[in-house]
A and B are shown apart, each in its own frame.
Chain A
Amino acid sequence: MADAHAHHGPDYLEHHFETPLQQFDAAKLGMWIFLAQEILFFSGLFVAYFIFRSWYPEAFSVGSHLLDWKMGAINTVVLLFSSFTAAMAVRSSQLGETKKTTAFLAVTVVCALGFMVVKYFEYTHKIHVGLLPGSLFNPQGEGVEELRAAVEAAYASGPFEGTYPYHLRSFFGIYFVMTGLHGLHVLIGIGVILWMIVRNQKGAFTKDYNTPVDMTALYWHLVDLIWIYLFPLLYLID
């Protein structure tokens, strides 16, 4: 290799790597490190969640009843399924089945969009009825009725007399930050998967080279994993 620019392998091999295997290994390690930092990023939120929940258990219980667990459950199923299709996309890409890869990636994007639509309805409803974080917390109209039902369900006690835990606002603070950041990750995921579809259609991926699809799927599994924790922690507190 006298000339460093001399071609030293297949087209997809970047100049600073010696072999395709080295390139793949580096990408994989890099991706795992990235996922580790993502988990630590969210871990701060989970710590805040557990601290506030241990301080204000009644607020979290009422808050949880104010969330629509059915919508949460639908979204959980949708995301789990999309993780499956993402994995299938990697498999077909490894087998060199370009069309199938595109199809699986497309289904993944559709699921992700479905997730965001459900989230949109959840958010607009919460905003509409004033179930919001911190000083914005101001239940009105339907919100008051929901609040009444939630307090009664959480305490299984007497009729609602207009009192509810003050720290509900902290619950909604944590709810919006956690699901909002997760939703942002979903949106980024949609963008990346769409880009993968474009590249795949252009024939960038073959049996021998499909690292980007693989890495995208890894990212998508993480997004799924985080939701799997968020769903019970936020929607299913009794």
Chain B
Amino acid sequence: MAVEAGTAAPAAVENDESNYLTAKSGLKSWALTVDHKRIGVMYLVSVIVAMFLGGIMALLVRAELMFAGETLMEADTYNQLFTLHGAIMVFLFIIPSIPAALGNFFLPIMLGAKDVAFPKLNLGSFYIYVIGTVFTLIAIVAGRIDTGWTFYTPYSSRADNAVIWMTLGVFILGFSSILTGLNFIATTHKMRAPGLSWTRLPLFVWGIYATSVIQVLATPVLAITLLLLIMEKTLTIGIFDPALGGDPVLFQHFFWFYSHPAVYIMILPGMAVINEVIATFSRRKIFGYMFVAMSSVALALLGFLVWGHHMFTSGMSEYSTMIFSALTFLVAIPSGVKVFNWVATLYQGSISFETPMLYAIGFLILFTIGGLTGLFLGILSVDIHLHDTYFVVAHFHYVMVGGTVFGFLSGMHYWWPKMTGKLYNEGLARVAFGLIFLGFNITFLSQFIMGSQGMPRRYYDYLDQFQPLHMTSSGGAFVLGFGFLVLAVVFIQSMISGAKAPANPWGSAGFEWMTTTPPHAHNFETTPVITRGPYDYHLASEEELFDGFPEDRAAQGAKA
């Protein structure tokens, strides 16, 4: 047996610790917990609230854009809404979504560890996240934030002082991200169970590990940039403001030195989830395991070299633009390696299409579109035309939503039974997937077309010729919103009246399924000894892949 713990025994009756959810009770047991699983759940709730807020703002923005001219709100309100949509979605939702929520919950379990290396620091990171969130909320109340989520100078150095609260919030959130990354790196290096070599590491862990490296190395640069912006606004230090001898383009360099790698902070965890889901639902070892693992690391490193592609039109030397363009194309290689390996894994696998797998397939399609359109933007001559149009908006939504959010939802469905101990309504979950997939594509395919025709991003008003496309895009956004509503029903219904989940409902060979459902407070009753890889279906025992309840198996045992 590969993992010698946890698979056995239906939860013993009076064992307090056998279920992390009931091990302790009361508000304090959550607020002061150092259990990575509970911290993961708290993050999960927080990011879902953030996603809901950001989503409402997106719908308001799309509602305003249904018709040219003023529809619902004044231009001023509109400017604030798209800024808040971007800032909330990026800093409060996407960046912490998979690593801090799902990663916190599953990384230590997949390593066979009792917890992350620094559990108190982990709780600290969560509260830093909360404080950062409070600052951003204060910013929303304190005044107008209409700089766009990128806070470009010189506008931001002169804009309303609420920008100080906002950037301070993002600054604080950054430290949450850095400390989480630090914790995960140390955990991956030092907390692996006996027998869990680097070549047996689940690819989810590889992905989160690569993400953590970026979080630690890139985020400090954003932190110092935002701090300089704050100083600029308070002490007028003259770093970015041209009137004082500063350079606004320097802000862009600093900002993108973080924010391009941040794209990988967002997408690598999505890819990390997809690995697990594709392996489980095609019952196969991931094709080219080492290539997939190393491509995550390659993306993490290459990500630091391409920030200039956001600034082709900001006044850089021709040579710089050429180098940045060429380096940008290199990113396609590790991304392509991943996509080809996933497709090769599916080939001749015994595939089943449960909801997590549907999202994974959705991810493959949407990420491929998002990735390929990124190449258009990396071409210098084409970018001059497409820069700051809806084409860019559509491109990064295909990567961020089609990639990260689909990865996140895939993971949510995949691990939901393990986290909550409950099953959800599969039929309704598929309906939600259908609506989300359809709505998303309607919204953003039309934006690709608009963008290529020259519709600039962030504009409040537009020419009549764009009317049908804007209308279509908004219609798609409402379908998408409705899809999320159905999704909410799926999860709420599961929490209230979902059937009890067995330990391994998908029959996966992954390590996290080898413990009880919901997991023991210490993950495994005893430290497991790993004797195979997480995708070695040919080495896994029948009992490990058994997807029902142990008591059913005992009953069947007589027959078999």
Q: CB within 8 A of A40: which of B113, B220, B238, B525?
A: B220
Judge if A51 is at the interface, Cβ distance under 8 Å: yes
Taking CB as reference atom, which chain B residue is nearest A34? B182
Q: CB within 8 A of B527: which of A1, A29, A43, A173?
A: A1
> What band does the interface of chain A fall in when counting residues whose beta carbon is under 8 Å from B?
35 or more
Contacting pair B245 A56 (CB below 8 A) = yes
| A156 partner residues in chain B, CB cutoff 8 A | none
| A37 partner residues in chain B, CB cutoff 8 A | 178, 182, 216-217, 219-220
Taking CB as reference atom, which chain A residue is nearest B224? A44
Q: CB within 8 A of B220: which of A26, A38, A170?
A: A38
Contacting pair A4 B522 (CB below 8 A) = yes
Q: From residue B124, how far is it (CB to closest CB) to chain A in Å?
A: 13
Q: Mark contacts of B205-229 with chain A using CB atoms, 8 A cut-off: 1 yes-contact digit, 0 otherwise.
A: 0000000000011111101110110
Q: Mark contacts of B331-347 with chain A using CB atoms, 8 A cut-off: 1 yes-contact digit, 0 otherwise.
A: 00000000000000000
Judge if B250 is at the interface, Cβ distance under 8 Å: yes
Contacting pair A176 B220 (CB below 8 A) = no
> By DSSP majority rule, is chain A's interface helix, strand, loop, or mixed?
helix
Contacting pair B526 A16 (CB below 8 A) = no
Q: Beyond A16-B119, A135-B244, A169-B238, is A29–B17 a contact (Cβ under 8 Å)?
A: no
How many angstroms from the CA of A10 to the CA of B191 in the assembled complex?
19
| A181 partner residues in chain B, CB cutoff 8 A | 227
Q: Mark contacts of B171-197 with chain A using CB atoms, 8 A cut-off: 1 yes-contact digit, 0 otherwise.
A: 000000010011101110111000000
Contacting pair B235 A26 (CB below 8 A) = no
Q: Mark contacts of B105-130 with chain A using CB atoms, 8 A cut-off: 1 yes-contact digit, 0 otherwise.
A: 00000000111111101000000000
How many angstroms from the CA of A150 to the CA of B520 in the assembled complex?
69
Contacting pair B118 A40 (CB below 8 A) = no
Contacting pair A33 B526 (CB below 8 A) = no
Q: Beyond A30-B186, A136-B235, is A44–B219 a contact (Cβ under 8 Å)?
A: no
Judge if B231 is at the interface, Cβ distance under 8 Å: yes
Q: From residue B195, how far is it (CB to closest CB) to chain A in Å?
A: 13
Q: Mark contacts of A155-197 with chain B using CB atoms, 8 A cut-off: 1 yes-contact digit, 0 otherwise.
A: 0000000000011011001101100010000000000000000
Q: Beyond A26-B190, A33-B216, A44-B254, is A173–B238 a contact (Cβ under 8 Å)?
A: yes
Contacting pair A30 B221 (CB below 8 A) = no
| B186 partner residues in chain A, CB cutoff 8 A | 26, 29-30, 33
Judge if A130 is at the interface, Cβ distance under 8 Å: no
Judge if B239 is at the interface, Cβ distance under 8 Å: yes
| B228 partner residues in chain A, CB cutoff 8 A | 44-45, 48, 177
Judge if B247 is at the interface, Cβ distance under 8 Å: yes
How many angstroms from the CA of A202 to the CA of B123 in the assembled complex?
26
Q: Beyond A33-B216, A38-B220, A134-B238, is A26–B182 a contact (Cβ under 8 Å)?
A: no
Contacting pair B235 A134 (CB below 8 A) = yes
Judge if A22 is at the interface, Cβ distance under 8 Å: yes
| A22 partner residues in chain B, CB cutoff 8 A | 190-191
Q: From residue B150, how far is it (CB to closest CB) to chain A in Å?
A: 17
| A133 partner residues in chain B, CB cutoff 8 A | 235-238
Q: Beyond A33-B186, A40-B217, is A15–B247 a contact (Cβ under 8 Å)?
A: no
Taking CB as reference atom, which chain A residue is nearest B34? A16
| A18 partner residues in chain B, CB cutoff 8 A | 527
Judge if B505 is at the interface, Cβ distance under 8 Å: no
Judge if B148 is at the interface, Cβ distance under 8 Å: no
Judge if B246 is at the interface, Cβ distance under 8 Å: yes
Interface centre among B121, B225, B228 (most CB of A within 10 A): B228
Q: Mark contacts of B447-475 with chain A using CB atoms, 8 A cut-off: 1 yes-contact digit, 0 otherwise.
A: 00000000000000000000000000000
Contacting pair B231 A177 (CB below 8 A) = yes
Q: From residue B36, how far is it (CB to closest CB) to chain A in Å?
A: 9
Q: Mark contacts of B230-256 with chain A using CB atoms, 8 A cut-off: 1 yes-contact digit, 0 otherwise.
A: 011001111101001111001000100
How many angstroms from the CA of A227 to the CA of B417 in the assembled complex?
53
How many angstroms from the CA of A135 to the CA of B17 in the assembled complex?
61
Q: CB within 8 A of A48: which of B121, B219, B250?
A: B250
Q: From residue A184, how far is it (CB to closest CB) to chain B in Å?
A: 11
Q: Mark contacts of B524-542 with chain A using CB atoms, 8 A cut-off: 1 yes-contact digit, 0 otherwise.
A: 0111000000000000000
| B225 partner residues in chain A, CB cutoff 8 A | 44
How many angstroms from the CA of A3 to the CA of B492 in the assembled complex?
35
Contacting pair A4 B17 (CB below 8 A) = yes
| B181 partner residues in chain A, CB cutoff 8 A | 33
List which A19-51 residues lie within 8 A (CB) of chain B.
Answer: 22, 25-26, 29-30, 33-34, 36-38, 40-45, 47-48, 51
| B227 partner residues in chain A, CB cutoff 8 A | 177, 181
Q: From residue A8, how far is it (CB to closest CB) to chain B in Å?
A: 10
Q: From residue B174, how far is it (CB to closest CB) to chain A in Å?
A: 10
Contacting pair A30 B118 (CB below 8 A) = yes
How many angstroms from the CA of A237 to the CA of B460 in the assembled complex?
50
Contacting pair A43 B237 (CB below 8 A) = no
| B245 partner residues in chain A, CB cutoff 8 A | 56, 166-167, 169-170
Q: Which 6 A-B pairs have the closest CB atoms?
A: A173-B237, A134-B236, A44-B224, A41-B220, A134-B238, A16-B114
Q: Interface residues, chain B, CB within 8 Å of chain A?
A: 17, 113-119, 121, 178, 181-183, 185-187, 189-191, 216-221, 223-225, 227-228, 231-232, 235-239, 241, 244-247, 250, 254, 521-522, 525-527
Q: Interface residues, chain A, CB within 8 Å of chain B?
A: 1-2, 4, 14-16, 18, 22, 25-26, 29-30, 33-34, 36-38, 40-45, 47-48, 51-52, 55-56, 133-136, 166-167, 169-170, 173-174, 176-177, 181
Known A51-B247, A136-B236, A170-B237; further 4 A-B contacts with Cβ < 8 A: A29-B117, A44-B221, A133-B238, A173-B244
- A-B contacts, 7 of them at CB < 8 A, read A26-B189, A37-B182, A48-B250, A51-B247, A169-B245, A170-B239, A173-B231
